[in-house]
Amino acid sequence: MRGIAAVPTMLTLGNLICGFAAIHYAMKPVETTRVFDWTTLYVAATLLFLGMFFDAIDGSVARLTRSTSDLGAQLDSLADVVSFGVAPAFMMLRLVSHYYYPPGQAAARPILGPEADSVFAKFLWAIAAVYVCCTALRLARFNAETTSAAEEDHRNFKGLPSPGAGGTIASLILLHQSLLSNGAQVSQSLTFDRAFALGLPFVTLICAFAMVSTVRYAHFVNRFLRAKRDFSSFVRLAIPVVVAVFFPHIALAVGFTLYALSGPAYALSLILRRRSVAPPSAPSPS
């Protein structure tokens, strides 16, 4: 190595620090913090999206400054394992732990782990562990199969990208915390807030399997934002942005969920299209 590119490397390390800080807040009990009076999970989810911003621009800055390198690619994957693998897993476990214990005892109870006395709690921790492993496998496969850092080699992804998986989990947690802060009361019965939280592990497991699948996902930035579009296409892209300004939490949750589902939906459409254009089989001679 002759040298290390300063700006892209600092952006990548910024992503790593955001992931580390998100884990720090996710390990705390769910309560209000001094950061804009947000809850700990709200802060953690916000930090994850900040890290996603750093992750989105470090490659572009490296190509702009002609400082792409194998070191930068490997460092980017290591940061993504923390920010979009370990951090979302901790956030999911913290949210579920908050509702798993009886009301009034959640703050004094630790995050669910393999030492728990419940099979369900052990299963939840196993889901988080599987998610972290699938994130690492997804990033290792990406590094092994990617031929170059050129934009034309990043038009599609094989499997759900780790930022898409982590963003899906974080956006749902962000929406959950936002709904509670806007007046929703935490009840002792299985109401919406509890059902939402207890359903998140299954979303995490689906995202984990989607990352290690061979389903194709479009690179949103390269396919849609950097490509030249006509006026009508620009209007269709601008409308979701306007909606996101007024309803950011809902827009993030819906957007990331739809992106996570876009891969299987596209694969299913290809299968149906092939069946519709397949020639009919010739009748067997009698």
Q: How far apart are CA 210 and CA 260, in angstroms?
A: 8
Q: How far apart are CA 194 and CA 177, in angstroms?
A: 12
Per-residue pLDDT, averaged over 25-43, amounts to: 94
142, 77 Cβ separation under 8 angstroms: yes
Lowest model confidence (mean pLDDT) among 45-54, 85-94, 155-164, 229-238: 229-238
* Of residues 204 and 148, more confidently modeled: 204
DSSP state of 154: G
User: Residue 257: is its pLDDT beyond 50?
Assistant: yes
Total Cβ atoms within 10 A of residue 137? 15
Q: What does 1-41 look like in DSSP terms, one character per residue?
A: -----HHHHHHHHHHHHHHHHHHHHHTS-S-B-SSTT-BHH
User: Residue 188: is its pLDDT beyond 50?
Assistant: no
Highest mean pLDDT among 80-89, 174-183, 186-195: 80-89
pLDDT category at 93 given cuts 50, 70, 90 is very high
What's the pLDDT tens digit per position in 136-170? 999 999 989 876 655 555 668 899 999 999 999 99
How many CA within 13 A on the CB side of residue 23?
14
pLDDT category at 276 given cuts 50, 70, 90 is confident
User: Residue 234: is its pLDDT beyond 90?
Assistant: no
Average pLDDT, the chain: 85
Instruction: Tell me what pLDDT residue 70 has.
Output: 84
* Of residues 225 and 181, more confidently modeled: 181
User: Residue 91: is its pLDDT beyond 80?
Assistant: yes
Look up residue 164 and give its two tokens: 């898409």
Percentages helix, strand, coil for the chain (3-state, rounded to 5) are: 70, 5, 25
Query: Counting runs of H as helices and runs of E as strands, what totals does the chain give?
Result: 10, 2
Exposed, middle or buried, 45 (CB in 10 Å: 0-12/13-18/19+)?
A: buried
What's the pLDDT tens digit per position in 114-139? 888 889 899 999 999 999 999 999 99
Per-residue pLDDT, averaged over 29-38, amounts to: 92
Express as a percent the part of the chain with pLDDT over 90. Answer: 53
Per-residue pLDDT, averaged over 45-56, amounts to: 96
Total Cβ atoms within 10 A of residue 124? 25
Instruction: Tell me what pLDDT residue 105 has.
Output: 65
∠ Cα 240 241 246 (to 5°): 95
